Structures are given as structure tokens and as C-alpha cells.
Amino acid sequence: MFEKVILRKLAEVILKRVTKRMTKKFDLDNVLKYVKEPNELDVQMKVQQKTSNKHGKAIEDLEKDNATMKSQIKMLLEWKSKESF
């Protein structure tokens, strides 16, 4: 029982040291920083998405206006055709 506790603690210490050395050797801190923190491309992508959303909204508004104008033209043509008789 006592040996298991000692082996477990020893394994934890070894694992921590190996992890620390591997992090330094492969510069994993910078990799994690790049992955977790927003970078220039993330900012550009957000701006692009906002612009795209604005354009989508503008297109929807234009389509609504177009539908309204079509219905108004249709009503006007119907009125004109009734008036000509």
C-alpha cells in the first residue's frame, strides 16, 4: 500500500518534469497561445462576417421592396385596365 503511494507520487513528479521539458523543447506555450487567443485572422474573419450579415440584411430589404413594388404595379395595371373599359 505504501509502495503504491510512493510510486504514484514519483510518477506524478516525473510526468510534470517531462511535460515541462517537452513544452519548452517544442515551444508548446506559443502554440497554445495561438490556438486559444484571437489573432489577426480571427479579427479579420469577424469583420468579414459582420459585413456579410449587413449585406444579407440589405438584400432581404431590397427583396421586400421589390415584392411591394410588384404588387403596387399589379394593382395599378388592374386599375388602369378597369378604367379603360
Are 32 and 55 contained in the same domain? no
Q: Return the pLDDT at 83.
A: 77
- Where in the sequence is the domain holding 19, given as residue range(s)? 1-37
Q: How far is CA 81 from the centre of its chain?
A: 53
pLDDT at 71: 96
Cell of 25: 523543447
How many domains are there within the chain? 2
Q: What is the mean pLDDT of each run of 10 residues along the chain (85 residues)?
A: 89 92 81 87 95 97 97 92 75
8 and 27 part of one domain:
yes
User: SS3 sequence, the chain?
Assistant: CHHHHHHHHHHHHHHHHHHHHHHHHHCHHHHHHHHHCCCHHHHHHHHHHHHHHHHHHHHHHHHHHHHHHHHHHHHHHHHHHHHHC
Please report whether residue 5 resides in a domain. yes
Instruction: Indicate the pTM of the whole model.
Output: 0.51
